[in-house]
Amino acid sequence: MNTEGVNARFLLFSGIESSELPRWQPVIEDACRAISARCIVPSPDEEQQKRLEALAAAYAFRLFSRCGGEQISSFTAGDVHITSSAGAEDKGEALWKSLCEDSTDLLKSGSGFFFERIVME
């Protein structure tokens, strides 16, 4: 899998600066391994490879969204009230689910929690 392609997509999805990318590189690499392990196509063509890269980036973004403590959803201290669109986790989840639905021809669902459910085989 082309990690440069995954990195580029992750930067777009997450909105972080490229200087912050090294901090998230282990998460991106984990996402690449997870997608590669579940790929059912032995030799993906160029189009399929791009879709797998997008899936890996979306999975990394999903993990980033769950870990990213920078997003503030709501904070109140006396008369001060701060809110922001903390929908990054929701965006990561929605993006991930959408790409998974579009890529059932590339990934095996397997068992476990990969697709947010347990599959009994």
Domains identified in the chain, total number: 1
Q: Is residue 110 part of a domain?
A: no
The dihedral of CA 17, 20, 35, 115: what is its sign? negative
Closest CA to 30 of 5, 14, 6: 6
Q: Is residue 58 part of a domain?
A: yes
Q: What is the pLDDT of residue 107?
A: 81
Q: What is the pLDDT of residue 97?
A: 81
Question: Dihedral angle at the C-alpha atoms of 52, 53, 58, 60, nearest 10 degrees?
Answer: 120
Please say whether the beta carbons of 61 and 92 come within 8 A: yes
Tell me the residue range of the domain where 53 lies.
3-102
Q: Is residue 109 part of a domain?
A: no
Q: Is residue 33 part of a domain?
A: yes
Question: Dihedral angle at the C-alpha atoms of 7, 10, 14, 16, nearest 10 degrees?
Answer: 10
Q: Model pTM? A: 0.71
Q: Is residue 79 part of a domain?
A: yes
Q: What is the pLDDT of residue 113?
A: 42
Q: Is residue 112 part of a domain?
A: no
Q: Is residue 77 part of a domain?
A: yes
Which of the residues in the chain have pLDDT under 50?
69, 72, 84, 86, 110-115, 117-119
Q: Is residue 111 part of a domain?
A: no
Q: What is the pLDDT of residue 49?
A: 94
75 Cβ contact partners less than 8 Å away, ≥ 6 residues apart: 81, 82, 83
